[in-house]
Each structure stands twice: as structure tokens, then as C-alpha cells.
Structure 1
Amino acid sequence: MARLRIALALAATLVLPGVLVGVPAQAASAALPAGSPAEVNGQLKVCGVKLCNEHGKPIQLRGMSTHGIQWYSQCVKTASLDALADDWKADVLRISMYIQEDGYETNPRKFTDLVHGYIEEATKRGMYALVDWHQLDPGDPNYNTSRARTFFKEIAQRHKNKTNIIYDIANEPNGVSWSKVKSYAEQVIPVIRAEDPDSLVLVGTSGWSTFGHSDGKDPQDVVRNKLSAPNVMYTFHFYAGDHGSDYLAVLSKVSDQVPVFVTEFGTQKASGDGANNFSQSQKYLDLMNAKKISWVNWNFSDDERSGAVFKPGTCSGTSFSGTGRLKPAGVWIRDRIRTADDFPTS
């Protein structure tokens, strides 16, 4: 779905006021604050079809995705991250690093260092850092296998001792069979596991992470041909303005069969724009709450579309808390992220 959002994206500097950028390899790692979501839940594990914390209890994480950091890095800085952690009460920050579209392939060193910095910033605020390998066009993730192996090897080496790191190795595979996506995953996951054997790995599914549904494929293709690697979840994306009851039914069914993490959704159309469909969005949230499916909303920026939570111009300032600078989608999703967490420890 993100394929429709890239054309109008605004160029932005990669200099982030007040945020760690290009963290040196020997820099001290941030510590998790006591009582924060990542400190309370610790190392995440897949138990059956659920996401569980270190105590073996099923939990649901809720949070926000950055926009593409090649365009909207100015929206991810000290003041905005403080607001996300302290005012929004988010559990997870998805770091959206595009591979093409002026992203990683243009300067691997710069973008890798940028991600290192964001991981440390999420860590010191007690959020999970979800590293999003945002491959999109071409839709076959095998096009970027070599790049992915290089990137994830370094990320895993640097952050393997953290308990709040989540690796998302393929954003929205599209126009490609699940068997090819699986082949890609089978090449990348061992690279991560060689450095970090414990952390959660997420794998995008075919049809723009709809278990093939958007490509007219049978979602059971994934269920019948699961990855053999442990501690892996499959991703699902939806946009409530376009994806109605049939997509909701797919999510409901597959989440009873395999572990699912909704790493991207919006309350509007798949373009990230258009009218908000809050009633359909709430149906999805009700389902995800009932099944404890973790979710991340698109997106934590001030672009002109309705799906960006902040009003245009917000990111040039320092005011991010409260609702005064939020669009309707931002007001709606902030309210739902702020709902009391249910993180059992015994």
C-alpha cells in the first residue's frame, strides 16, 4: 500500500536536531527506563500464535511508524520522540527505512548509522525499536537480498544484547509468490540469528503484506508453507478506507493459524490520504485487541496527507504533545495508543 505514497513525498534533511545520528560503533548503549514497556516486557517471544513477553504472557504492543526517514527525518527528534513515549504512551517505534526511493541504496553507511541512532533513542525511552526494511519497488525482496544481509548483520551485531529490538526484514512484498518471499527470508534470517539468536523477526507476506489477498492469492498459501525458523511472526497491513470486511476476515482467520503482527495500517485509503473511515478502523482495532495482535500506525509525520498525524509545519517546531497540532487521524490514534497497557508479569 505504501507504493502509492512515495510519489508526493517531500525531500528533507537527514540532520536531526537533538537526536543521535551516526552513532559510533563503540558508543554506550542506552538503558531501558524502569517501568517502561520494553523494560516491563523484556525479550519478546512467540508462544503459539501470540506475542509473549519474557514472563510468557501474551501481550499487545501499540505504536507509530515514522514516515520514510529519507524524507521526514525532521519529524523524528528529541521533542517528538519524548511526546511519543511520554504523552502518547507508545510501546513501539517503527523505523521506516526505504531501500529504493532515495533510501538505503543511495548511501548505505548514512542510513545504517541513522537507524543505529533511532534504535538508541527508542531504547532510552523504553520503547521497542522495530527496524523496518522498507522494500517496496521492486516488489520481490530477493532483489535486495545482498543489501539486506549486509544491513541486518551490522544491526544485529551492534544491538544483539538489547531486549527491545525487532527485525522486520521485508515490508510489502508485491507481485511475487509467497514461495519466493519465503526463499528470501530463509537467506536473511540466518544472518540475523548468527549474531542475535533470540530477538523477534517479522516477515512481510505477499500481496503488500496481506497474506496474498491483495494479489488475489489464497492466504492459506502462507499457512501451508510456513517458515521453519523459531520466533518469527508474519505481517499484515490494511487501510480502512480501502480494505473492508474481506480483509478483516483474512486477518481474523490467519491470526488463529500463525503469529501475526500488523506493522502498518491507516484509517484512510492505501495512498495514505482521503477521508478517514474510523468506524471500519475500530472494527480492526476491536479484533486486534481481542486477539492481542500488536499494531503500528502509519505515520508519525506532518506530510500533507490525512494519514500523517501532525498538521503541516509541525515538525519544524518543538510542540508535539497534546492534540493541538494533530490532524483528525492523529487525535484518533493517539487516544487509542494511550489506552492502558495490559502487560501481565505473573
Structure 2
Amino acid sequence: MIQFNAFKLVLLCTFLTLFTMSSMADAARGRVKIDSDNNVVADNGVKLRGAPFFLDIFAISDMKNNDQAYKDYFMSVAKDYNMNLVRCSPWIGNWAYMQKGDIWYEDHKDKISHLIDRCVTWAEEAGIYAVINMHIEFGTTVNLQKSKDFWGLYAGKYKNKTHVIYELVNEPDIPSAKQNMSALYSYVRNLAPNTHLILWSPNNPSALPVADIRNNSSGIDYSNASVGYHIYEYIVGKRVQHDKADEYRDEFPTINTEFYSLTDANYYPIDYEFLVDNIKVMEDRGYSWMQWSPVFNYKNTNQNLDNDDLKFSSTYKNRVKNGYGAASGIGTYWPKDHGLQDDEPTSGVTGKKRIQDGWKGRYLHASANAGWADVQSVDLVPNWGSQKWVIESAGNNTFRIRNVWTGMYLTASSKNEWAPIKIDPLNSSWSSQRWFIEKTGNQYRLKNQWSQQYISSPENQWDVMRQAKLRDTWGSQKFTLSAY
């Protein structure tokens, strides 16, 4: 009887162990999804905000000898920096020239496999996503067989890991990418039917026009795949490449997987002006993003880092996390939720509000109870529902603004400067009905997500409200939100 009970105890312990392991697996992030604005987002609808992890083969010994330090990096990404993704980029540029059976090929493959295994595990334990990127050197020809060699090792291996995403190439030679992308997609999709796949990933959107993507996407199902792109814009405040990326998103699910933030694209020091500028514009435009620096584990023959570099630096924390604007940082641009919860709306903004401009002191007024009616600037009439609005959270730090009298929503009529502001029935897929509400002192600016322009009030009563580019000093772009 004692032996029997002991046997049952062993079975019970085994069951509990398996149950615990199963429960831990269930705690991994759910698969990413595509929102109504064609952004790739987390399982809870929050933007993906990613840190880099460059897997240089020369650093494998350091990584094995400092396992906890590397693991802590993944934990810090979520806990300390409010991000929810790490982009794992094993350097295989030279692998393209190796052959199966070659001792260097086998050695390289084994080391990369160790690196990727650890990344997948650490990300799962941290409750964040891992992007596995076949990180070929910029401009490398996309050799279909060599690409299959790589993805044949990993695509099926992690297919059931819901927190893992595959980025099939990195900054490829464009002609070969166009020739082989559909075939490579089909190969990986067959091995991983449910994994989100990021395709294309040019070094700049200008390098790959949207028409070329459209014309070379035969057989690609973009319901669970997206167009990746990089931004390397070398003048602060310039928006040419960002505007090109908007063209991608108009047609395909889209995600930024790398952007400029280093003085010399590959090496320290970080250029914080560019880092802040790029994150700000992508946050404003609603994109998910992955930055290229700091360069955790960027250790090779040209740049040797020690363990003090195996983390975000205090300078990064001070400049990026804890401030706002190019001079101090962009920390307020994403929520302090460790990347795991829904974005929190701006405090005190939602609810029943009148919206009064800071120039003439007049109020937003719906001109008629009809779709596409103008929104005007009118002196206060307290009992008019046409001057009463309800501000509703729309997720990702955006808001919809509903008129009480008409039940319709504040809408940008076009992307053109000076276009009139309208009201129209709700269309949940329209970013023209979503607004960023930016605090400026004791007032707010109302910026449209689609047009990227601000509501501006006119000089004369009964004139139409219009949108314009930001003018910092204009009271006509500043509004008071008062409860009624």
C-alpha cells in the first residue's frame, strides 16, 4: 500500500509539473493582429514597440558566458522601457556564400540556432514578442535556395509559439526580392501556417514602390502577413520616407522594423535627435516600430563592447524614456504600462465637453443635422446640442469626437491643408475620424490621425473650422475642453 501511494504521488507530481508547464506556455503573448488602419499590433491592440538584438556570431562565447545578463535585457525591455518586442537579427550575410556540408556552414548554423533558441525563450519568459529576422547584409541577392535553407531550420520549429514573428529578409537586393518573394512566402507559410510573416523590408520605402509590391505579390495572403520597411532619413524633420511608408499602409498591412538612430548607421554613438524624431513621427502616425539602437550584443571585429554595454545606457533612459521632445526625449509618447496593457487615454480628456478655441473664444458647432455638414466657429449658446460633444477613447492614444445633436463624428475631409472639418456618421475603419489630443499648457491641440494636421479656428463667427499644419504660436490651434 505504501509503495502504491508513493507511485500515485509520483504520478500526481508529474501531472502537476506538466500542468504548470502548460500554464506557463499559455501565458505567452497571443498572436499579433492587423488593426483597421493596416497596422500590425499586439494581441491587445497596442502598438508593437521594439528593441533590437543584433546576433553577431563573434559574440556567441560572450553570450554563453553571460546568460543572465542577456536574459535581463529582455526583461528590461518590458519592465523598464515599456516596450513589448525584441527584433532578433542573426547576422548571416556571409552565410549566403557557404554550402551545406562545408564545416563553416555547419559551425555558423549551430551557433545561430543557439542564439535564436535563447531569444525565443527569453522573450516568452518576459511576456513580449520576438521577431526572428534573416539578417542578410544590405543589398544581398535573395537566393531562394539559401533562404529556404535558413527558414527550413526555424519556420516549423517555432510555428506554435504565438509570441514569435518571422521577418523573411533584411534590406534585400530589390530585383531578386521581387523575383523570389512569393516563392519564399509560400515555402515559409507551408511550414508555419499561423505565424505572422513580415515581407520585403527594404532599407527605405523609396527603394521599393508600392506598385512593385502589388505586382509581385502573387499568392501572398496579407490577412496574416505585412510589408516591413526601414526608415533611413538623414535630415531631422524630413518626412519623405515616412510619407512613402503611408503609401504602403494605404494598401497593405505595414510595420516599421528598423530606423535611423546612429551617427554612422552601424556604430555608436546614438544620435538622439534622429531617434526621438523618428519615434515621434511613427507614434503620431500610428505605426508599430522597432528601433535599430542601442545595439545590445553588437560585438564584432570592428567594435568591441563589454558587459556594461549589454543594456540600455543611463543616457538612453534619460533622453528617451523620461522626457518629451527632441531635446529631452519621447517617454510620454507611449504608455507606462510595460508594453503589456492597453494604452491609457490622456487624463481628463474623455467625456462630455464643449470645445472652445483660444483665439476668439468661440465654440465648435455642427452646422446641420446631415452627413458631411461643416463644423463652424460660433459664440456660446448654452442649450444648443450642436455645441456639445462627447470625446470617446479610440485606442492607441487616439479619440473620436461625437456631436450630441447629430450623433455624428468630427471628420477630416481630406489630407490637404485648409480643408474644412466635417461631421459624418461613424465609420470605425476611418482614421480621419480619429484624433490625437495633445496637451499644451492648460489647453489642447486636436490633430487628425489621417491628415496629420490640426484643427484651426477662423477669424469670423459662422466661418468653417479648417485644418492646418502646426503653428506653435497660434491660439486658433489651441482649445479648452470644458465639461457641460
Please report the TM-score for the alignment, with normalisation by the length of structure 1: 0.70
Which residue number in structure 1 is paired with residue 225 of structure 2? 232
Code of the aligned partner of 2:193: P
Matches within 5 A, 1:56-71: 57=45, 59-71=46-58
* 1:89–1:298 distance in 2 versus 1, CA, 3 Å: same
The residue aligned with 2:76 is 83
Q: Which residue pairs with 1:253 in the alignment?
A: 247
- 68-77 or 257-266, which deviates more: 68-77
In the alignment, which residue of structure 1 is the partner of 2:259? 265
Counterpart-to-counterpart distance in 2, 1:117 and 1:134: 17
Alpha-carbon distance between aligned partners in 2 of 1:237 and 1:200, rounded to the nearest angstrom: 18
Do 2:181 and 2:217's aligned partners in 1 also have CA atoms closer than 8 Å?
no
The structure 2 residue matched to 1:222, chosen from 213, 233, 249, is: 213
Q: Which of 13, 27, 33 does residue 45 from structure 1 map onto?
A: 33
Residue equivalent to 1:97:
90
Q: What is the identity, as a one-letter code, of the residue corresponding to 1:323?
A: S
Find the counterpart in structure 1 of residue 125 from structure 2. 124
Which of residues 198, 203, 222 is equivalent to 1:202?
198
- Kept in 2, the 8 Å contact 1:134–1:170? The answer is yes
> Is the CA contact 1:32–1:125 (under 8 Å) kept in the aligned structure 2?
no
Identity %: 17
SS of equivalent to 1:158: coil
Instruction: Rate the CA distance shift 1:337–1:80 in 2: closer, same or farther, 3 A.
Output: farther
> What secondary structure sits across from 1:163 in the alignment?
coil
Distance, in Å, in 1 between the alignment partners of 2:71 and 2:96 is: 22
Unaligned stretches of 5+ residues in structure 1? 1-27
Contact 2:258/2:290 (<8 A) preserved? yes
**Residues 110/267 of structure 1: CA separation in 2 closer, same or farther (3 Å cut):** closer
Cα distance, 1:275 vs. partner? Answer: 7.5
Using CA pairs under 8 Å that are at least 6 residues apart, name the structure with larger relative contact order, 1 or 2. 1
Unaligned runs of 5+ in 2: 1-20, 64-68, 99-104, 323-328, 344-394, 396-484
- Offset at residue 131 of structure 1 (A): 0.1
Go from structure 1 to structure 2 and tell me whether the alpha carbon gap of 1:323 and 1:102 turns closer, same or farther (over 3 Å shift). farther
Amino acid at match of 2:260: G
SS in 1 for 2:171: coil
Structure 1: distance between partners of 2:172 and 2:22: 33
Aligned to 1:170: 169
Match of 2:118, SS state, is helix
C-alpha separation in 2, matches of 1:290 and 1:314: 35
How many corresponding residue pairs? 296
CA contact (8 A) 2:320 2:330 kept: yes
Q: 1:32 to 1:61 in 2, by over 3 A?
A: farther
1:255 and 1:234 map into 2 onto residues whose CA distance is 8
Q: Check the 8 A contact 2:54/2:91 in 1, yes or no.
A: no
Contact 1:301 1:315 in 2 (8 A): no
Contact 2:50–2:85, Cα closer than 8 Å, also in 1:
yes
- Work out the CA distance in 2 between the residues paired with 1:325 and 1:53: 24
Mapped partners of 2:335, 2:54: distance in 1:
21
CA deviations 1:206-232 (Å, max 9, x no partner) are 4x2x23x1x4x6443324544522311
CA distance 1:268–1:29, shift in 2 (3 Å): farther
Q: Where do 1:6-45 residues align within 5 Å?
A: 31=24, 39=29, 42-45=30-33
The whole-number CA distance in structure 1 between the counterparts of 2:209 and 2:336 is 35
- The question of 1:323 aligning with 2:304 is answered no
Measured after TM superposition, the shift of residue 268 of structure 1 is: 3.5
Kept after mapping to 1: 8 A contact 2:159/2:191:
yes
The structure richer in strand per residue is: 2
* Residues 334, 154 of structure 1: alpha-carbon distance in 2 compared, 3 angstrom cutoff: farther
Mean Cα deviation higher: 76-85 or 246-255: 76-85
The 3 A distance-change label for structure 1 pair 69 and 273 is: closer
* Partner AA of 2:221 in structure 1: A
| Structure 1 residues 301-339: Cα deviation after superposition (integer angstroms, max 9, x where no partner) | 2769xxx9xx9534477xx47726869679857786664
Q: How many Å separate the matches in 2 of 1:322 and 1:137?
A: 27
Are the counterparts in 1 of residues 55 and 297 from structure 2 also a CA contact under 8 Å?
no
Contact 2:181/2:200 (8 A) holds in 1:
no
2:277 is the counterpart of 1:289: no
Moved more, 89-98 or 220-229: 220-229
Measured in 2, the distance between the counterparts of 1:321 and 1:270 equals: 18
Shift of 1:285: 2.7
1:301 to 2:296 alignment = yes
Q: Is the 8 A contact 1:223 1:254 kept in 2?
A: no
Q: Is the 8 A contact 1:200 1:232 kept in 2?
A: yes
CA contact (8 A) 2:50 2:83 kept: yes
1:159 counterpart residue number: 158
Distance 1:321 1:113, change over 3 A: closer
1:193 matched to 2:189: yes
Amino acid at match of 2:166: Y
Shift of 1:172: 0.5
Distance 1:253 1:68 in 2: 32
Q: Is the 8 A contact 2:139 2:171 kept in 1?
A: no
User: Structure 2 counterpart of 1:195, which letter?
Assistant: L
1:192-250 deviations in Å (ceiling 9; x for gaps): 222321111001244x2x23x1x4x6443324544522311111112353583211221
Asked if structure 2 preserves the Cα contact closer than 8 Å seen for 1:31 and 1:123, the reply is no
Secondary structure of 2:190's aligned partner = helix
Cα 1:116–1:336 shift into 2, 3 Å? farther
The answer to whether the Cα contact below 8 Å between 1:241 and 1:269 also exists between their aligned partners in 2 is no
Aligned in 2, Cα 1:125/1:225: closer, same or farther, shift over 3 Å?
same
TM-fit CA distance, 1:33: 8.2
Structure label with greater radius of gyration: 2
- Deviation, 1:82, is 2.5
Contact 1:130-1:165 within 8 A present in 2 as well: yes
CA distance in 1, matches of 2:140, 2:155: 24
Q: Partner letter of residue 124 of structure 1?
A: E
Question: Is contact 2:93–2:140 with CA below 8 Å preserved after alignment?
Answer: no
